[in-house]
Amino acid sequence: MSSEEVTSEPRERVVVVSGLSGAGKSTALHALEDLGFFCVDNLPTRVVPQVLQECRAGGVYLIALGIDVRVRSFLADFGDVVEGVGADPRVDLSVLFLDAADTSLLARFSATRRPHPLSASLSEPQRGAMALLDGIQGERERLAKVRLRATQVIDTTALTVHDLRKRIADSFGPGVGRALRMRVRVVTFGFKYGAPVDADLVLDVRFLRNPYFEEHLRARTGLEEAVVSYVLGDPDTQRFLELSGELIAFCVPRYEREGKAYLTLGVGCTGGRHRSVAIGVELSRRLEEATGFQVDLVHRDVHRDGYERGTNPDIIGGGGFRGTGRDPEQRRDG
């Protein structure tokens, strides 16, 4: 294969995650997975080249491999495997090593009540504090050569789970190498159908004037120009968009900086057809302009039949407007 053919292929981002048991390897791998990496844990070193080859064939170019003392005798091949992977011009290789003080590791194992990988084979009476400390010290010795080959070492002694996720995002996340940016989704909805259970932030726009009470707009949606003009033409709407847009534009980059992989913003009105839709479209546009994020927009309830409310058991009066003698056209919707 010529050098031109090699350099024309996408470069692979490979992160090898290793370190002491209890130092946060699982948290690191989960954070990388949220950032778009294909993660394989507890991988024997000898099969790493084959795994990378299969990922390449499948079009996967963000790969994280967990390798530690659990691979047992395969750990002896770690140096040769790392050198071989790093020598491949198609690969951008990082070796992340997670460490922590012995006292911190002891406390974490005590809190989880899990045996150390090197002391798990001992008989029950031997699984005391000394057996656990022996396991930690033995693991340090076995991983000493791995630590020497690390391109980054993170001491998690004083870090929380959130701190570690942030460090991972800073090193391998948005804007670094080939990693993807945080995904932002705006969901418009009707409160009478329930708020989205996955929403991180929810904006309630039911205080704005309602197109539903305008006969010529009732059957339309917030995707149509007549409704958009009606909703956005209200001075209260414009002020709301200014304030909420500024707040969201402030929060979103900071959510990303903390290592959040995705953010869902809910915008709700009564029925999810008029106000929330028009405002959701406008907020998405402003957010993209202010932050540069690509925003996915979903209108959950825009095509729902308003008469569905008649089957809602939560309506006061025993089930909505059916049999109440009330004209359906008088319902509060939109």
- Of the listed ranges 5-19, 55-69, 190-204, the least confidently predicted one is 5-19
Q: Give yes or no for a contact between 71 and 146, defined as CB atoms under 8 angstroms apart.
A: no
pTM: 0.52
Domain boundaries, the chain: 3-172, 183-330
What is d(CA 91, CA 178) in angstroms, rounded to the nearest whole number? Answer: 12
CB-based burial label for 102 (10 Å; 0-12, 13-18, 19+): middle
Report the pLDDT value the prediction gives residue 159, as an integer from 0 to 100.
Answer: 84
Between these two residues, 209 and 86, which has the higher pLDDT value?
Answer: 209
What is the CATH number assigned to the segment(s) 3-172? 3.40.50.300
| pLDDT greater than 50 at residue 188 | yes
Cα Rg of the chain (Å, integer): 27
- Of the listed ranges 1-5, 145-149, 290-294, the least confidently predicted one is 1-5
What is d(CA 277, CA 287) in angstroms, rounded to the nearest whole number? Answer: 15
Q: Average pLDDT, whole number, for the chain?
A: 79
Report the pLDDT value the prediction gives residue 4, as an integer from 0 to 100.
Answer: 42
Q: Give yes or no for a contact between 277 and 299, defined as CB atoms under 8 angstroms apart.
A: yes
Between these two residues, 63 and 291, which has the higher pLDDT value?
Answer: 63
Q: Which CATH class is domain 183-330?
A: alpha beta
For the four alpha carbons of 116, 121, 124 and 126, in that order, the dihedral sign comes to negative
| pLDDT greater than 60 at residue 295 | yes
What would the two tokens of residue 277 be? 């839709």
Between these two residues, 10 and 105, which has the higher pLDDT value?
Answer: 105
Report the pLDDT value the prediction gives residue 322, as an integer from 0 to 100.
Answer: 34
For 146, list phi and psi in degrees, rounded to 5.
-65, -45
For the four alpha carbons of 137, 138, 143 and 148, in that order, the dihedral sign comes to positive
| pLDDT greater than 50 at residue 307 | no
Report the pLDDT value the prediction gives residue 228, as an integer from 0 to 100.
Answer: 96
Between these two residues, 127 and 256, which has the higher pLDDT value?
Answer: 256
| pLDDT greater than 70 at residue 80 | yes
